[in-house]
């Protein structure tokens, strides 16, 4: 233990292999809402919380990334193992709870053996009992305790079954540290130093055969210990291989889901359904939010009057926040559907399906999860890349993640697509959005293939690549957990984006309102609303934003755009979502009785390039903007995380230059190419 480490209350560490129910159990005991998914690396940094008061047990509980042994092969496993041996704040744990999947004993008992041999005080939380029971099997706990040499409790972290008994065993062990410590008999008959890993696994498999019993017998009121010999004879007659396989239903489904042709077709259908649902399901809620913020903005302006503070509240605050809050339903639906896919076990299949294609470009199936996470946010996606042991593959994955269309782009896509397609045709918008996501994914794959082909020194690595993934059985998702995770993911998104959006909305309002040299207008024959609109137009033309935009306008002209869009693109480099609120502010769209999104689109349709009278937003320029956002790295937080995860500024600076330059070039080609073939 480090000098200065003080233990005022017990310290408990929770470890286990990936997909063994570890974080689910941690959430139930601590009352937290950390994300649990069916693939390795869902937890990429350890989390610490206190046990809930309802358990009447004060202790610190640590949850760490999943590991399969005490020999780390990736960064997240190293985080977990370092925390196990000597946490910098809490030192060594008083008790280590190891989650073991009852249907995967032959693989998961290796970690248990290593922990006991390392002299840790171990208690096993045996999970996934229901999955084993579906196969007609159960486990004799007295026999398994005898063979392993530690206390074992059956638990279900989703509903809390067995948790009270588990914590009582922990309390007892802390009060009497030797109560659960026995000689580890797993390697009985073997010399530890000379025993090979193969011999160890043979011994573990032998234990698995001896402790597995028919499920019907486990429910009878019989003395299992007394009938030990009989049970062993019976268990030897079982088809033990079935315990290691997935259940029959899973095998039948996987014949289609993992088929080399049908599997990809199903994957495409699922993804198309997701993105169509984002528009279709969210539309009614978005309309309500849109109307509400339109009413608030116009009402605030009416009350406060045509003053700087009235304009500030209406345009700077209400419009700025509302123009992004309106897209929260779409983001919530995205997280919700992805959560269901994760909870059922489908995403692990996606990783298997895509492993072979990814291997052609220098990646493997482990890159699938970070890439898919990139659809939500590039920051956790880059952290999830820690699960990739091979350095070259990890850096290559991190490099292409910003090309995945994250949820921050969704508000921008939603607005631009709504401009292209009339209301009531959500299916067209959904198909177009699906195409955008497929195009961004294809682009990421092409970039990875090019970098791998030329074997850039940026990713040079001599480590051998391998991909082994444990496929979970299909399970009915626990919708309360999925809803909770979707809610908290959306909440975190809004908390992260909200302050940035509000801050830049205020800055942009200042730039578009001042120096406020608007002359007084003779109101004869003009309505009050018309006078206000003329004043806004005059004020904007002489504002600081106009000066800044006109400075960069030569860069925007080749894209068919002017300085106003240029200002919005610059503001979007802090956070892509700001682009929408920036347009709302620059085009002064908050009119009395007008919904925000409709007002923005209406203002875009009316906008013309100053001095030419040409339409500013056309089919070609809108598609050019979409192409720009597909490629551009407009997220300072992503750049900071990339620097942290790659260990320097080299890769993030290259990402910033390459992706932003590519965004401009391809947007230019898209706009002018469409105009060349007659599409305005």
How high is the pLDDT of residue 433? Answer: 85
- pLDDT of residue 3 exceeding 80, the answer is no
Ranges 67-71, 87-91, 128-132, 423-427: which has the least confidence: 423-427
Mean pLDDT taken over the chain: 75
First to last CA, the chain: 70
- pLDDT of residue 162 exceeding 80, the answer is yes
How high is the pLDDT of residue 434? Answer: 82
* Element housing 27 (H / E): helix 22-30
Ranges 11-15, 517-521, 578-582: which has the least confidence: 517-521
How high is the pLDDT of residue 461? Answer: 52
How high is the pLDDT of residue 423? Answer: 66
Residues in the chain: 680
Long-range contacts of 165-174 (CB under 8 A, 24+ apart): 166/97, 166/123, 166/125, 167/29, 167/51, 167/55, 167/57, 169/123, 170/10, 170/12, 170/57, 170/59, 170/95, 170/97, 170/123, 171/57, 173/94, 173/95, 173/121, 173/123, 174/10, 174/94, 174/95
Token reading at 622 = 């809108």
- pLDDT of residue 613 exceeding 80, the answer is no
Cα distances (angstroms) measured from residue 173 to each of 166, 167, 179, 323:
11, 10, 6, 56
Is the Cβ–Cβ distance between 377 and 68 less than 8 Å?
A: no
540-575 pLDDT tens trace: 667 787 787 788 888 888 998 888 888 788 777 766
- pLDDT of residue 210 exceeding 80, the answer is yes
Is the Cβ–Cβ distance between 437 and 335 less than 8 Å?
A: no
Query: In sequence order, what are the residues at sequence separation of 6 or more whose Cβ sits closer than 8 angstroms to the Cβ of residue 615?
Result: 607, 608, 609, 680
User: Greater confidence, 233 or 16?
Assistant: 16
Ranges 292-306, 337-351, 392-406, 613-627: which has the least confidence: 337-351
How high is the pLDDT of residue 45? Answer: 57
Strands 47-50 and 11-15: unpaired
How high is the pLDDT of residue 602? Answer: 84
CA atoms within 13 A on the CB side of 665: 6
Is the Cβ–Cβ distance between 635 and 408 less than 8 Å?
A: yes
How high is the pLDDT of residue 490? Answer: 72
How high is the pLDDT of residue 181? Answer: 47
Question: What percent of the chain stands above pLDDT 90?
Answer: 7
Question: Measured between alpha carbons, how far is 81 from 96 in angstroms, rounded to an integer?
Answer: 12
What residue segments make up the domains of the chain, in order of their start? 11-243, 257-286+329-480, 485-676
Nearest residue to 673 (alpha-carbon basis) of 635, 605, 627, 606 = 627
Ranges 25-29, 200-204, 262-266, 594-598: which has the least confidence: 594-598
Q: Across residues 206-230, what is the average pLDDT? A: 61
Cβ atoms within 10 A of the Cβ of 333, count? 21
CA atoms within 13 A on the CB side of 504: 25
Ranges 325-329, 470-474, 517-521, 560-564: which has the least confidence: 517-521
The structure's pTM equals: 0.57
- pLDDT of residue 57 exceeding 80, the answer is yes
Question: Measured between alpha carbons, how far is 61 from 10 in angstroms, rounded to an integer?
Answer: 9
Question: Measured between alpha carbons, how far is 446 from 401 in angstroms, rounded to an integer?
Answer: 13
How high is the pLDDT of residue 483? Answer: 80
pLDDT band at 255 (very low <50, low <70, confident <90, very high): confident
Token reading at 124 = 């096993």
How high is the pLDDT of residue 213? Answer: 84
- Does 515 sit behind a cis peptide bond, omega within 30 degrees of 0 on the bond before it? yes
Cβ atoms within 10 A of the Cβ of 223, count? 8
| Cross-strand partners of 87 | 91
Nearest residue to 258 (alpha-carbon basis) of 192, 194, 177, 354 = 354
Question: Measured between alpha carbons, how far is 67 from 69 in angstroms, rounded to an integer?
Answer: 6
How high is the pLDDT of residue 241? Answer: 42
- pLDDT of residue 253 exceeding 50, the answer is yes
The CATH number of the structural domain formed by 11-243 is 3.40.50.300
257-309 pLDDT tens trace: 777 778 878 877 776 677 667 667 777 787 788 778 878 888 888 888 777 78
Cβ atoms within 10 A of the Cβ of 563, count? 23
Cβ atoms within 10 A of the Cβ of 17, count? 22
């Amino acid at each position: 233990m480090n000098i200065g480490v003080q233990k005022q209350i017990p310290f408990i560490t929770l470890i286990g292999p990936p997909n063994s129910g570890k974080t689910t159990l941690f959430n139930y005991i601590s009352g937290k809402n950390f994300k649990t998914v069916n693939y390795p690396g869902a937890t990429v940094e350890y989390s610490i919380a206190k046990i809930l008061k309802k358990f009447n047990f004060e202790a610190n509980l640590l949850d760490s990334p999943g590991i399969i042994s005490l020999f780390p092969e990736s960064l997240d496993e190293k985080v977990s193992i370092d925390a196990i041996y000597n946490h910098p704040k809490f030192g060594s744990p008083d008790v280590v709870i190891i989650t073991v999947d009852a249907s995967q004993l032959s693989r998961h008992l290796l970690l248990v053996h290593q922990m006991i041999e390392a002299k840790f005080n171990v208690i096993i939380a045996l999970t996934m009992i229901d999955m084993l029971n579906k196969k007609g099997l159960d486990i004799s706990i007295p026999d398994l305790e005898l063979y392993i040499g530690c206390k074992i409790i059956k638990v279900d972290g989703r509903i809390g079954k067995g948790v009270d008994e588990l914590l009582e065993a922990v309390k007892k062990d802390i009060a009497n540290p030797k109560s659960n410590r026995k000689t580890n008999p797993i390697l009985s008959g073997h010399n530890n130093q000379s025993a090979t890993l193969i011999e160890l696994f043979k011994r573990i498999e032998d234990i698995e055969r001896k402790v597995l019993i028919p499920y019907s017998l486990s429910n009878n009121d019989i003395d299992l210990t007394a009938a030990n010999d009989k049970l062993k004879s019976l268990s030897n007659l079982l088809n033990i291989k079935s315990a290691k396989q997935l259940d029959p239903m899973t095998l039948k489904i996987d014949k289609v889901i993992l088929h080399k042709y049908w599997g990809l077709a199903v994957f495409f259908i699922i993804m198309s359904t997701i993105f169509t649902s984002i528009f279709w399901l969210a539309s009614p809620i978005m309309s309500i939010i849109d109307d509400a913020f339109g009413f608030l903005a116009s009402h605030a302006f009416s009350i406060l009057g045509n003053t700087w503070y009235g304009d500030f509240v209406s345009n700077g605050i209400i419009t700025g926040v509302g123009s992004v809050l309106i897209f929260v339903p779409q983001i919530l639906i995205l997280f919700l559907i992805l959560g269901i896919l994760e909870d059922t076990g489908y995403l692990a299949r996606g990783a298997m399906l895509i492993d072979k294609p990814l291997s052609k470009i220098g990646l493997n199936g482990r890159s699938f999860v970070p890439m898919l996470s990139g659809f939500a946010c590039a920051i956790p996606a880059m952290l999830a890349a820690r699960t990739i042991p091979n350095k070259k593959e990890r850096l290559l994955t991190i490099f292409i993640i910003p090309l995945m269309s994250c949820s921050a782009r969704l508000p921008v896509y939603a607005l631009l697509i709504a401009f292209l397609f009339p209301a009531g045709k959500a299916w067209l918008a959904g198909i177009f959005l699906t195409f955008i996501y497929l195009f961004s994914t294809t682009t990421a794959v092409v970039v990875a293939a090019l970098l791998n082909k030329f074997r850039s020194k940026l990713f040079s690595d001599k480590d051998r690549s391998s991909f082994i993934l444990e496929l979970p059985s299909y399970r009915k998702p626990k919708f309360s957990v999925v809803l909770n995770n979707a809610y908290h993911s959306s909440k975190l998104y809004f908390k992260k984006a909200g302050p940035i959006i509000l801050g830049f909305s205020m800055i942009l309002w200042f730039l578009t309102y001042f120096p406020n040299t608007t002359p007084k207008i003779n109101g004869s024959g003009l309505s009050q609303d018309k006078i206000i609109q003329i004043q806004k137009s005059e004020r904007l033309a002489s504002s600081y934003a106009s000066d800044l935009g006109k400075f960069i306008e030569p860069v925007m002209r080749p894209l068919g755009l002017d300085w106003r869009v240029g200002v919005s693109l610059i503001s979007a480099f802090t956070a892509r979502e700001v682009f929408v609120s920036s347009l709302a502010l620059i085009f002064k769209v908050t009119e009395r009785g007008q919904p925000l999104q409709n007002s923005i689109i209406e203002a875009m349709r009316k906008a013309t390039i100053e001095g030419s009278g040409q339409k500013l937003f056309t089919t070609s320029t809108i598609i050019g903007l979409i192409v720009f956002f597909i490629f551009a790295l407009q997220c300072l937080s992503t750049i900071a995380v990339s620097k942290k995860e790659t260990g320097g500024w080299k890769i993030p600076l290259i990402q910033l230059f390459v992706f932003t330059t590519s965004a401009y070039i391809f947007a230019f080609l898209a706009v002018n190419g469409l105009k060349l073939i007659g599409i305005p």
